[in-house]
Structure 1
Amino acid sequence: MTFETILTQAKAERFTAAGQWQNKTLTDFLDQAAADTPEKTASVDSRGSFSYAELKRQVDRCALGLLEMGVVPGDVVSIQLPNWREWLVVHYAAVRIGAITNPLIPVYRDREIGFMMERAQAKVLVIPASFRGFDYPAMVGRLWPKLPSLEHVLVVDAGYGLAKGFHSWETFIGTAWEDRRDPAELATLRPDPNSLSLLIFTSGTTGEPKGVMHTHNTLVAGSVPWSDKLGMDNSAVIHMASTFSHLTGYLYGVSLPLQLGATGIFQDVWNAEAFVDLVEKYGIAHTSGATPFLHDLLQAPNLASRDVSSLKRFCCMGAPIPRVMVRQAREELPEMSVFGGWGQTECGLVTMGSPNDPVEKIITSDGRPLGGMEIRIVDLDGTTLPADAEGRLQIQGPFLFQGYLGQLEATRELFDGDWFDTGDLGSIDDEGYLKIAGRTKDVIIRGGENIPVAYVENVLYEHPMIDAVAVVALPHPRLQEIACAAVVLKEGTPEFTFADMQQFLKDKGVAKPYWPERLEVVSDFPRTPSGKIQKFQLRDSFAASAEAATQSMKETS
């Protein structure tokens, strides 16, 4: 399979000369850590732990085994595993031999997996026999006839009686491939750091997923600024519960601890109470995740009875941090800094707050650009706008992806020179802090006036009865669009009415044109596996119910 990208030699030379691309792969860092601190714990998960020496041995053996299976540089290896050590082994092995990893989120099922694997044309797939009660081999058996490129499936915890084409992971990794192939071959296969390393599909907040292509250099660059900005070194203990198959989980779980030679502590299923126990047991200092994870942590029943003094930083991504949540975190975990950041699958985290930022900046902004990245706000014509003016957010720098799979021209259309149009709206203040206003497709224009979605959501988050909120646009025959507030109420909350919402917004001094004109109380939001609310699903659902109600009224009148 040919992977066409937008990478140019001039761009590669520019980023390399600036020191923003180190021309390293993850296995370069693995080799260094295994040589320097072989007995140090590299990773801990629900299945056990690896020292750096053990991890390297497993990776090299897996790499030789993949070669025996016929995997060659440029082939795609798909991984649909939870945050288990086998995920790390397979990915680092793919890096070792120049194969491309295609991460697949564990909660994806036939429709998503069929779509993504058909486009990725993977030669090997690695899955669990079962996770959270789901039969993965049965799903792959249903899909296999439509996946002609798929040759081998490795099944973790396979047991016995596998169908043809399925192989036990335990047998595979227990085979001494190093006795069949010369391990020295691996050094000859070290990939060009500008070749593709990751084919990761967008999480679908706005519709059909796109295959985002990242090189070794773009991925390594995306984690490099963290150590300086957050004071991390090889003594760091870093936690990750977001799936490795999302770029957040990948960059700051799979990549960052290895680049530092640090220790990663991983959860395959997020559970705040279990996380608190892990903090006490391992001295976790840093975690990253979607804002709902912070909410859960603050509600954890064992939070007050455990020693969590090691936890210094919580980086929230994917949604604004409600003011009330920051206040609560400071009260209950005074040694922990909470700050946000903004990024996408196409670029990793581009802006990030700082533990030293004023509270107002943490609450109202998404931080400033990380080293090497640049941001700007433009109007519809591409003219750069002044400070505090709202417009389209564009970015450029060394973290940027190198194209969408099979959509080279569509990729180029999103660039203005080196500037990538993110599809987000925002503003930048005179100190360089970014404030995201929402997706361009989430903009609500009521009778010609823009409604500041993020602002309204942040106010509603302060209501004591509301646990989560999303404001979306609904079609209107006269005004074109109106705002609908969807809320999830806190457990045990009595009825929350439209009148209650209006009174609260009035008491908060919110301009009446900004008040949502419809309220929907829901049990939960449709979310991506990384925790982002899928607003397009809310819009479609509410619009359909409104249309059905209108039609019913017409038929009965």
Structure 2
Amino acid sequence: MQFDPILPESRIRAMRAAGLWGDHLLTDSLDAAVAAQPGATAIVGRNSLTGERASLTYAELAARAERIALGLSRMGVGRGDVVSFQLPNWWQFTALHLACLRIGAVTNPLMPIFRERELGFMLALAESKVFIVPRLYRGFDHAAMARTLRPRLPRLARLLVVGGEGEEDFDQLLAPQPGADARAIFAAGRPAADDVVQILFTSGTTGEPKGVMHTSNTLFSNVRGYIGRIGLGAADVLMMSSPMAHQTGFMYGLMAPILLGAKVVLQDIWQPEEAADLIEAEGVTFTMASTPFLSDLAEVGARRPASVRSLRMFLSAGAPIPRVLARRAAESLGATIISAWGMTENGAATTTRPDDPPEKAFETDGCPLPGVELRVVDAEGQPLSADQEGRLQIRSASNFVGYLRRPEWFATDAEGWFETGDLARLDADGYVRITGRAKDIIIRGGENIPVVEVEGLIYRHPAVQEAAVVAMPDARLGERACAFVVPRPGAGAPSLAELNAFLLREQIAKQYLPERLEVVEQMPKTPSGKIQKFQLREQAKSLTPEQRQG
């Protein structure tokens, strides 16, 4: 397939001159780890379907990746061909990306939640040559679904199934390839560091998934800055429970451990008790996931403090972290809580620093990583001064190189500023506070409600485990606020009157109070833990206020 990355020569020259881009590939990090410590553990994981535990050294991981690369090459996969795989956090995921790099193929990870409608579109747009799925995952027959898709995908040459049989068996890629000249095949296939190596689909406001394209340089410029900011080293043990088909899992559960030569512990289905077991058994020192994961683990840590004793840092991103949750988690886990903000298009762009004072650590989403610039602009695109809310834009070494076959959606100006779609404030020290999504605003009678701040105050209520505030249509005021709440275990849910009395004691403006409260057992979420507000907004369309105000 021919890619058309938006990568001006001027950007390449500037990034290389700044020392942010080079010629490094992840397979170079793998080779260095094998040379330095071939017997060191690279991956520990468990397949929840079979119950099998995997533990691979760096030498074993490299050998499997090379065999898979040769197997794909024998199937006709080469430079620029797209290999799509819809796999959980299993060792095969990591090995497949390394194998693709060896022969210049493009990795296209797909979230396990996707079904026929999304997959049919994504595989067709990417012109995927090979599609790899698990036989079963979380009770769903991915192999059967993939077979129904094949007739619609004339470019799809092979379907492979982890745990499959016959010509679909993934393990055939691991078979020895007698007579294959691996060195020559890998030398011919090696991509340049500015070639597209990853396509990751993300949802947006355009009505169809967007294929975000990244190069080794855009990915590595982020991972290096991230590692340096939070002080990770080869002696750390990382755990990844967020899906590796999400940029969080890919960059910091797949790439970062190999760059460090460290061990990573993979969890394929989030279970907080099991996560605590893994932390204790493997000596995990660092993990990263979204806010609900942090909340869940903090609950376990409060009951089982010994199980999380080795954990020194939890980085929470994916959604603005309620500050009361960050403080509570820091106490129950005995770990430093790092807040971060980022996107599929650029990875983690900001983090707090491990030694930040409480007002930065708990009240902001961090400051830019090396090679990242942020600005907040008004409706006309003019930069705003400190502490004013506006549209957040980013210019970064890790910014992506375009959307697959949709260059018109790039949303990046001639100076390299990318429109994030977020609303934010920047303080005088350059720390950002995400205040909401541009499309997530609630406008009540002409006045904007600061959704993220209201949610943060609701989280302070002792009976609240999770909270989300969305717009509820109203004929008179246009919109009103509806709060969805999951009660804490063993706690009775507050009434709307009780919740609002609590919020007034927290000195919230009366106009910002929720006007309906929906108590739910659980929030609709993505596998990475983000609350799916579009589902809540859909539910709120048919709701009416419980009490009238204003």
TM over 0.5: yes
Shift of residue 373, structure 1, vs aligned partner: 0.3
Residues 1:463 and 2:461 aligned together: yes
Pair 495,426 (structure 1): closer, same or farther in 2 beyond 3 Å: closer
* Aligned CA-pair RMSD: 1.9
Contact 1:77–1:94 (Cα < 8 Å) also in 2: yes
Percent of paired sites with the same residue: 46
Question: What residue is the counterpart of 2:159 in the other structure?
Answer: 153
Quick one: distance in 2 between partners of 1:515 and 1:545?
Answer: 16
Contact 2:67–2:173 (Cα < 8 Å) also in 1: no
Question: What residue is the counterpart of 2:61 in the other structure?
Answer: 55
Quick one: distance in 1 between partners of 2:205 and 2:55?
Answer: 34
Provide, for residues 315-335 of structure 1, a one-character-per-residue CA deviation record: whole Å limited to 9, x for no partner.
00122332332332333233x
Secondary structure in structure 1 of the residue aligned to 2:402: coil
Contact 2:464–2:493 (Cα < 8 Å) also in 1: no
Secondary structure in structure 1 of the residue aligned to 2:356: coil
Q: Give the counterpart of 2:473 among 466, 472, 475.
A: 475
Secondary structure in structure 1 of the residue aligned to 2:304: helix
Contact 1:206–1:535 (Cα < 8 Å) also in 2: no
Residues 1:169 and 2:167 aligned together: no
What is the one-letter code of the residue matched to 1:169?
A: F
Question: What residue is the counterpart of 2:296 in the other structure?
Answer: 296
Shift of residue 203, structure 1, vs aligned partner: 4.6
Contact 1:64–1:178 (Cα < 8 Å) also in 2: no
Contact 2:70–2:173 (Cα < 8 Å) also in 1: no
Secondary structure in structure 2 of the residue aligned to 1:364: coil
Quick one: distance in 1 between partners of 2:129 and 2:492?
Answer: 54
Question: What residue is the counterpart of 1:554 in the other structure?
Answer: none
Question: What residue is the counterpart of 2:245 in the other structure?
Answer: 245
Shift of residue 229, structure 1, vs aligned partner: 1.6
Pair 495,241 (structure 1): closer, same or farther in 2 beyond 3 Å: closer
Question: What residue is the counterpart of 2:507 in the other structure?
Answer: 509
Comparing 114-123 with 452-461, greater Cα deviation is found at 114-123
Q: Give the counterpart of 2:539 among 533, 538, 541.
A: 541
Matches for 1:257-406 after TM superposition, within 5 Å:
257-300=257-300, 304=304, 306-334=306-334, 336-406=335-405
Secondary structure in structure 2 of the residue aligned to 1:258: helix
What is the one-letter code of the residue matched to 1:128?
A: P
Secondary structure in structure 1 of the residue aligned to 2:270: coil
Aligned residues: 540
Secondary structure in structure 1 of the residue aligned to 2:308: coil
List alignment gaps of at least 5 residues for structure 2: 47-52
Contact 1:489–1:523 (Cα < 8 Å) also in 2: yes
Quick one: distance in 1 between partners of 2:280 and 2:313?
Answer: 15
Provide, for residues 57-90 of structure 1, a one-character-per-residue CA deviation record: whole Å limited to 9, x for no partner.
1111111111110111001000111111111111
What is the one-letter code of the residue matched to 1:170?
A: D
Quick one: distance in 2 between partners of 1:414 and 1:398?
Answer: 13
Secondary structure in structure 2 of the residue aligned to 1:426: strand
Shift of residue 248, structure 1, vs aligned partner: 0.1
Contact 2:82–2:105 (Cα < 8 Å) also in 1: yes
Provide, for residues 189-225 of structure 1, a one-character-per-residue CA deviation record: whole Å limited to 9, x for no partner.
2101101011001155996321111111111111001
Provide, for residues 431-461 of structure 1, a one-character-per-residue CA deviation record: whole Å limited to 9, x for no partner.
1110000100001121221111111100001
Quick one: distance in 1 between partners of 2:516 and 2:305?
Answer: 42
Pair 536,25 (structure 1): closer, same or farther in 2 beyond 3 Å: same
Contact 2:464–2:488 (Cα < 8 Å) also in 1: yes
Matches for 1:427-506 after TM superposition, within 5 Å:
427-506=425-504
Shift of residue 510, structure 1, vs aligned partner: 0.9
What is the one-letter code of the residue matched to 1:349?
A: A
Quick one: distance in 2 between partners of 1:182 and 1:56?
Answer: 13
Q: Give the counterpart of 1:138 among 135, 144, 149.
A: 144
Pair 107,205 (structure 1): closer, same or farther in 2 beyond 3 Å: farther
Quick one: distance in 1 between partners of 2:272 and 2:409?
Answer: 41
Pair 203,282 (structure 1): closer, same or farther in 2 beyond 3 Å: farther
What is the one-letter code of the residue matched to 1:330?
A: A
Comparing 527-536 with 45-54, greater Cα deviation is found at 527-536
Quick one: distance in 2 between partners of 1:125 and 1:144?
Answer: 10
Provide, for residues 442-488 of structure 1, a one-character-per-residue CA deviation record: whole Å limited to 9, x for no partner.
01121221111111100001111211111112222222222111111
Quick one: distance in 1 between partners of 2:178 and 2:531?
Answer: 46
Provide, for residues 242-264 of structure 1, a one-character-per-residue CA deviation record: whole Å limited to 9, x for no partner.
01100000000010001111111
Quick one: distance in 2 between partners of 1:455 and 1:178?
Answer: 62
Shift of residue 490, structure 1, vs aligned partner: 2.1
Comparing 222-231 with 284-293, greater Cα deviation is found at 222-231
Provide, for residues 132-191 of structure 1, a one-character-per-residue CA deviation record: whole Å limited to 9, x for no partner.
211111001111111111111111111x4x5xxx52112331x21253444432122210
Contact 2:241–2:268 (Cα < 8 Å) also in 1: yes
What is the one-letter code of the residue matched to 1:80?
A: Q
Provide, for residues 500-544 of structure 1, a one-character-per-residue CA deviation record: whole Å limited to 9, x for no partner.
222122222211011122222222222222111221221122114
Q: Give the counterpart of 2:421 among 415, 423, 426.
A: 423
What is the one-letter code of the residue matched to 2:524?
A: P
Contact 1:212–1:346 (Cα < 8 Å) also in 2: yes
Contact 1:234–1:262 (Cα < 8 Å) also in 2: yes
Question: What residue is the counterpart of 1:552 in the other structure?
Answer: none
Provide, for residues 400-452 of structure 1, a one-character-per-residue CA deviation record: whole Å limited to 9, x for no partner.
001111111221x4435210010000010011110000100001121221111
What is the one-letter code of the residue matched to 1:358?
A: P
Comparing 394-403 with 292-301, greater Cα deviation is found at 292-301
Pair 470,490 (structure 1): closer, same or farther in 2 beyond 3 Å: same
Secondary structure in structure 2 of the residue aligned to 1:306: helix
Contact 2:463–2:493 (Cα < 8 Å) also in 1: no
Question: What residue is the counterpart of 1:528 in the other structure?
Answer: 526
What is the one-letter code of the residue matched to 1:294?
A: L
Quick one: distance in 1 between partners of 2:68 and 2:283?
Answer: 31
Quick one: distance in 1 between partners of 2:178 and 2:342?
Answer: 41
Secondary structure in structure 2 of the residue aligned to 1:45: strand
Contact 2:302–2:333 (Cα < 8 Å) also in 1: no
Comparing 98-107 with 109-118, greater Cα deviation is found at 109-118
Comparing 377-386 with 465-474, greater Cα deviation is found at 465-474
Per the normalisation by structure 1, the TM-score is: 0.93
What is the one-letter code of the residue matched to 1:433?
A: Y
Q: Give the counterpart of 2:130 among 116, 120, 124.
A: 124
Matches for 1:179-258 after TM superposition, within 5 Å:
179-203=179-203, 208-258=208-258
Shift of residue 102, structure 1, vs aligned partner: 0.6
Question: What residue is the counterpart of 1:91 in the other structure?
Answer: 97
Shift of residue 302, structure 1, vs aligned partner: 8.6
Question: What residue is the counterpart of 1:37 in the other structure?
Answer: 37
Contact 2:393–2:420 (Cα < 8 Å) also in 1: yes
